[in-house]
Chain A
């Protein structure tokens, strides 16, 4: 529960409790009831007096008593105060019933709120347990990978002697799959951190252009194996303020999607430019695009546009959820624009680095 609610709830509860306490006190009840009846009676008196007065003035003669008894509605005049008292008394009863009902409802509401608070606490405990569990599992999964990766790669690097071509080929396959497994584990952990709201950004100022180039470079094997063309429209330099490693992760995930969902021989690209005092970045492809009905699920974890494509394209379905988590933490919402059959564009904006001159101006 947020701290704001924590502060307010008890105070609000106290006020409600005091009010209800006063209402449910029998003395207050009878007071309210009797006062309402008296009030009605009191209001009942001036009305007939006023009417009789007006009648006397109009007729211009006779006594008050005669006027009262001869008046066509004299019974009503006489009974006025009593009627008023009855009506107001009834109001009092109704109001008392309503107050009781309110006491009852507020009591129920309080119980519900308390129940919800308890449920919330349990959920928070569960969340904490889950985060701890994922961290432990991740650590346990990574530890055996230390030896598996270490020995496979050391042997592949010929540290422990020469290899036949077949041994070398086999080890290369093994290492490639170790990479894949390790990436999956890292993604799960990243995702868990984002879910738990525990993603801590390490903001720094850096040039986005080399970061984009590095991401494209690390995607090169995949780009080449699918005979894709990678285009870029980048300025000479574009300094931003962001978490460098996380943004590199964003580029890798977006590019990896672009590569995955673009048919062989197609085109993908990254554009970046300064616009309205921010860095505007687009990762695009001329690929399959995303069906309209599927676009709303894009950021749903584990979800993939074509359930059947899981085998063809691989992946966990965590990529975009992680991208969104990282960019949200930067306060930089991502937009995905996609036309089925024509391609997809992922756009986001990052704050520019503070120019050196203005930093100097700000100093004493």
Chain B
């Protein structure tokens, strides 16, 4: 069973997407902030991280950059999920190797599941 870490500051989004991912057979762990997510990573190794961009405190891009620089986490693929309409420009997102794709919320359940499946299979 593939393990997914879902990070979002909205409790209802966490619940919606973890129910959806569980129904597809994934093992889901959740974190409601960037700090909680990076803290969890020392004792836990997911196969993929679903990471919200706009979060209070450490935002998704900062979390992704931090994880990409950590030996124990740099190989874990990250899928950014955002309610913005396009990837936030001008902060060097394309230089963060961990980020494999963007999924725009709200999306069809199928879009999220297909995106996750594709990244798990092909790494992008």
Contacts and interface: CB of A to CB of B under 8 A. Distances in A.
A148 B105 CA distance: 11
B15 interface: yes
A138 B109 CA distance: 21
A8 interface: no
Given A139-B54, A147-B12, A154 B83 contact: no
B43 interface: no
Which of A143, A151, A200 has the largest number of chain B CB atoms within 10 A? Answer: A143
A150 B106 contact: yes
Contact of B84 (A139, A153, A159, A190): A139
A189 B12 contact: no
A274 to B, nearest CB: 30
Contacts of A147: 10, 12-13, 15-16
Nearest to A153: B109
Contacts of A154: 16, 19-20, 23, 109
Interface in A287-311: none
A184 B13 CA distance: 21
A182 B108 CA distance: 12
B106 A182 contact: yes
Interface residues of A, number: 23
A138 B17 CA distance: 21
Contacts of B84: 139
A325 B54 CA distance: 27
A186 interface: yes
B89 interface: yes
A160 B23 CA distance: 7
Contact of B83 (A139, A148, A151): A139
A150 B20 CA distance: 8
Interface in A110-162: 138-139, 142-151, 153-154, 157, 159-160
Given A143-B10, A143-B83, A200-B89, A149 B23 contact: no
- 6 closest pairs, A vs B, by CB? A150-B16, A159-B23, A147-B12, A145-B106, A149-B106, A142-B83
18 contacts: A139-B54, A139-B83, A144-B12, A146-B16, A146-B105, A146-B106, A147-B16, A149-B107, A150-B13, A150-B17, A150-B19, A151-B16, A159-B20, A159-B23, A159-B109, A160-B23, A182-B106, A190-B85
